[in-house]
């Protein structure tokens, strides 16, 4: 399925429709044009001098029945332009599609409107557009500016127009960033072939495992995160435009045409649902939260084993010898912020009556904050993974002999598991009484409890794991092969032994 945000040329069977101007044939994005990194755009302009001058305020576009202007305090409290101007590109794309549909239905002549919208877009992207708080939000600012530019025809643009926005492009961006992080983790795994680290359970060091196996755990979690984003995008890809206030309209609009022009699957089926639905925001914020939790766990790994490069570290203001992995500590910390954004919108939506309520204005800031934060967390995690090395000597000194593997060793020699568990438990008791580790015991001391003991080092211990997708060397090589194939990573720099194992794994995958 193609998930681009471009607006296709509008055409229906047997009918020739006016095409959208070529300037619309590009991705809908949170980005200012020409930006190299995908992030929410900055707030572009300071508020105008109209804000504090009640006498200079223009009549509201909705103000026909009102005899008084709203007070300055009410206006400042209810405005949303200070943050929802980030949706200018989505609003412009919707305006163009809506105007073209109205023209096709002979409800307006589109060309002066489309040209005016293009001019406004150029001003916004050139930082020449004046955002005004007395025009409340991004929709009203653009519509009022269009009226200033072309006059009366602009007032027809709102005909049968719903004012709801769906933001899909952020999901597409996040999925790309997740793949970049997965690739960085797979490459980090290849750079540390055969490195054994302590596993952990109950906050204690447990069985030895390959570092590659640990890193691939994060890759698997991120793959599920990407799947959640794909599911979320599929569910939100329905167009609310044309629902109007909540009841729809008696005008002969073509909602299917508008939905198609904006790349939606189809229009939403119920006009009340269209203006009151925020499920898509909640699902997106949940996907962000789940990803943030996984990234926070990545930031919890044992930092004493790794050495980040200077370019992804900070220094202690007191201790000159210290180098701190602050980026990953902040990844842990910012996960709370992303989860908080989800809780904010959950609380916002709880118990709201149908249909539209102004409360929904408050979903924008948590949505923008969550999006910006999760993108930053993914980016810095990938940067960190590309610029970290591991202290092999320190890791080797930390590795205990694995009691579980010793018990399994005895089982393979024919001893019942319960008996082997008892024998190894007695060995651990000896170690506790002496204040030593299992690896400190001699082979002769072990054979006093069981004559079947043979030499079993940490490397042998790890290689004994052979069950499907376990931490054994061959199993992990197959896992790496799967991810190299899936992520389409160039493998020319991999070692020959690994290449053979990868090739076998890939062929197995293709069967």
The DSSP bridge partners found for residue 204 are: 201
C-alpha angle with apex 241: 238 to 246, nearest 5 degrees?
A: 105
The stretches of 277-314 forming alpha helices (DSSP H) are 279-298
Whole-angstrom distance, CA of residue 336 vs CA of residue 439: 41
The sign one gets for the Cα dihedral 319, 200, 179, 236 is negative
3-state DSSP helix/strand/coil % of the chain, to nearest 5: 60, 5, 35
Choosing from 16, 22, 46, 202, which is the catalytic residue?
202
Q: Pick from 163, 166, 165, 160: which is nearest to 247 by CA?
A: 160
Contact 279, 286 (CB under 8 A): no
Q: Which residues pair with 205 in a beta bridge?
A: 200
Q: Within 10 A of 353 (CB to CB), how many other CB atoms are there?
A: 8
Write out the E strands in 91-165: none
**Token pair recorded at residue 468:** 């499907």
Q: Is 316 one of the annotated active-site residues of the chain?
A: yes
Q: Which long-range contacts (CB under 8 A, 24 or more apart) does 488-493 make?
A: 489/183, 489/186, 489/187
Task: Calculate the CA 296 to chain-centre distance.
Answer: 13
**Residue 268 is encoded by which pair of tokens?**
């939403």
DSSP state letters, 322-378: -EE-HHHHHHHHHHHHHHHHHHHHHHHHTTPPSS--GGGGGGHHHHHHHHHHHHHHH
Catalytic pick among 35, 316, 419, 466: 316
266 touches 11 (CB < 8 A): no
Token pair, residue 63, equals 């103000």
From first CA to last CA, the distance across the chain in angstroms is 24
Region for 241 from its dihedrals, namely left if φ exceeds 0, alpha if ψ lies in -120 to 50, beta otherwise: beta
- Return all residues near 355 (Cβ < 8 A) that are at least 6 apart: 245, 246, 272, 275, 276
Are the CB atoms for 435 and 442 separated by under 8 Å?
no
Question: Catalytic annotation on 22?
Answer: no
Give exposure, 293-318, as e/b (b: 16+ Cβ within 10 Å): ebbbebbebeeebbebeeebbeeeee
CA 219, 225, 227, 230 dihedral sign is: negative
Other residues' Cβ atoms within 10 Å of the Cβ of residue 289: 20
Distance CA 506, CA 485 (A): 7
Q: Mind telling me the catalytic residues?
A: 202, 316
């Amino acid at each position: 399925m193609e998930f681009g945000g471009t607006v296709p040329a509008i055409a229906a069977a047997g009918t020739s429709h006016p095409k959208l101007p070529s300037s619309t044939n590009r991705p809908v994005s949170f980005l200012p044009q020409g930006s190299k990194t995908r992030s929410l755009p900055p707030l572009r302009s300071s508020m105008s001098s109209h804000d504090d001058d009640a006498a200079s305020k223009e009549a509201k576009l909705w103000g026909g029945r009102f005899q008084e202007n709203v007070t300055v305090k009410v206006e400042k409290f209810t405005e949303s332009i200070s943050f929802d101007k980030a949706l200018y590109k989505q609003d412009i794309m919707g305006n163009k599609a809506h105007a073209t549909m109205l023209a096709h239905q002979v409800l307006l002549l589109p060309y002066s409107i489309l040209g005016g919208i293009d001019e406004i877009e150029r001003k916004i992207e050139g930082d020449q557009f004046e955002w005004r708080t007395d025009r409340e939000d991004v929709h009203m600012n653009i519509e009022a500016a269009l009226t200033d530019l072309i006059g009366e025809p602009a007032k027809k643009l709102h005909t049968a127009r719903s004012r709801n926005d769906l933001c899909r492009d952020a999901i597409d961006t996040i999925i790309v960033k997740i793949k970049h992080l997965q690739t960085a983790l797979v490459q980090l795994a290849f750079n540390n072939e055969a490195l054994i680290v302590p596993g952990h359970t109950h906050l204690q060091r447990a069985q030895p495992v390959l570092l590659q196996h640990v890193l691939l755990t994060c890759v698997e979690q991120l793959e599920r995160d990407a799947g959640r984003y794909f599911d979320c995008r599929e569910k939100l890809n329905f167009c609310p435009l044309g629902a109007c206030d909540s009841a729809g309209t008696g005008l002969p609009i073509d909602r299917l045409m508008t939905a198609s022009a904006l790349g939606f699957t189809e229009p939403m089926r119920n006009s009340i649902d269209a203006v009151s639905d925020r499920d898509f925001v909640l699902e997106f914020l949940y996907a962000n939260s789940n990803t943030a939790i996984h990234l926070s766990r990545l930031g919890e790994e044992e930092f004493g084993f790794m050495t980040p490069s200077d370019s992804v570290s900070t220094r202690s203001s007191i201790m000159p010898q210290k180098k701190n992995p602050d980026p990953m500590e902040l990844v842990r910390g910012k996960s709370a912020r992303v989860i908080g954004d989800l809780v904010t919108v959950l609380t916002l939506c709880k118990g709201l009556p149908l249909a539209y309520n102004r409360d929904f204005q408050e979903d924008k800031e948590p949505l923008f904050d969550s999006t910006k934060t999760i993108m930053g967390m993914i980016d810095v995690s990938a940067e960190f993974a590309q610029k970290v090395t591991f202290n092999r000597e320190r890791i080797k000194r930390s590795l205990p002999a694995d009691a579980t593997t010793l018990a399994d060793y005895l089982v393979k020699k024919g001893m019942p598991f319960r008996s082997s568990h008892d024998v190894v438990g007695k060995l651990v008791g000896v170690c506790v009484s002496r204040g030593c580790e299992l690896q400190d015991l001699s082979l002769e001391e072990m054979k006093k409890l069981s004559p079947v003991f043979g030499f079993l080092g940490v490397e042998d211990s790890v290689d004994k794991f052979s069950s499907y997708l376990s931490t054994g060397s061959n199993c992990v090589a197959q896992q790496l092969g799967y991810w190299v194939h899936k992520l389409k990573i160039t493998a020319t720099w991999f070692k020959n032994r690994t290449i053979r194992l990868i090739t076998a794994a890939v062929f197995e995958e293709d069967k």
